[in-house]
Amino acid sequence: MGTMKISVHRKPAGTYQHGNLREALVQAGLKLLAEGGVERLSLRGAAQLAGVSHAAPYRHFRDKEALVAAIAEKGFRLLTASMRAELERGEAVTARDRLEAIGFGYVHFALTHAAYLQVIFGGVLIMDDPPPELEAAGKEAFDTLRDVVAAGIAAGEFRPGDPDEVSLACWSMVHGLSMLLINGAVPKPTTRAAQRALATGLLRMLGDGIREPDSGR
């Protein structure tokens, strides 16, 4: 998965309780997924990394699938926070500015939390009946983008269209770019400014379209 360093807070020696066992298990599970994929993940392995008994994880997770869902939920929350942080910087005035800010927030999240992105969208998370908390976290992430797109369409800054369809087009572009970057298919920008320039440049191209206005086709 990603090459980010994942640290796991272990239970301090000589103490009875961990302190924040659920979070430690989420980090341990993420580390195991990043290093060996879903085949390596187990509640026993996560417990070992967190420095607790093999039975301790069952206080929070009924099985491995529940732990994966919790990891994915946190990933969605972090993604939403990254996109919203860019929106709240005060530099995004127009709908186009706000869309570009969200795109950069997505790419920045991917480059700093690559393992989470892989859990969310890399085929690890396959559930017929996902927990409501996970569904809510995923919807919140998508709605952060959709709200900006819908507002831009309503204000006449974007051309008329289905907000869901336009949002999907935007999401697909920044997600595709993110995967190319974290998988090393294209060189990673070395500075925050370069990350922003790449993400916003592609979104502007999407907004403008690639067809010449006078091409007749």
For every one of its 217 residues, what pLDDT tens digit does the chain have, with 9 covering 90 and above? Answer: 444 455 555 554 444 444 578 899 999 999 988 887 777 888 999 898 888 888 888 888 988 899 999 999 999 999 999 999 999 987 778 999 999 999 999 999 999 999 999 888 876 666 677 789 999 999 999 999 999 999 999 999 998 999 999 999 999 999 999 999 998 999 999 899 999 999 999 988 888 875 555 544 4
Question: Could you tell me if 189 and 104 are in contact, meaning their C-beta atoms sit under 8 angstroms apart?
Answer: no
The structure tokens 């993110």 sit at 178
104 is written with which tokens?
């950069």
Question: Could you tell me if 27 and 8 are in contact, meaning their C-beta atoms sit under 8 angstroms apart?
Answer: yes
Kindly list the structural domains of the chain, giving each domain's residue range(s) and its CATH number in brackets, ordered by start.
1-61 (1.10.10), 69-208 (1.10.357.10)
The structure tokens 């706000």 sit at 98
Q: What's the rounded Cα separation, in Å, for the pair 13 and 11?
A: 6
pTM given for the model: 0.85
Q: What's the rounded Cα separation, in Å, for the pair 73 and 124?
A: 13
Question: Could you tell me if 91 and 47 are in contact, meaning their C-beta atoms sit under 8 angstroms apart?
Answer: no
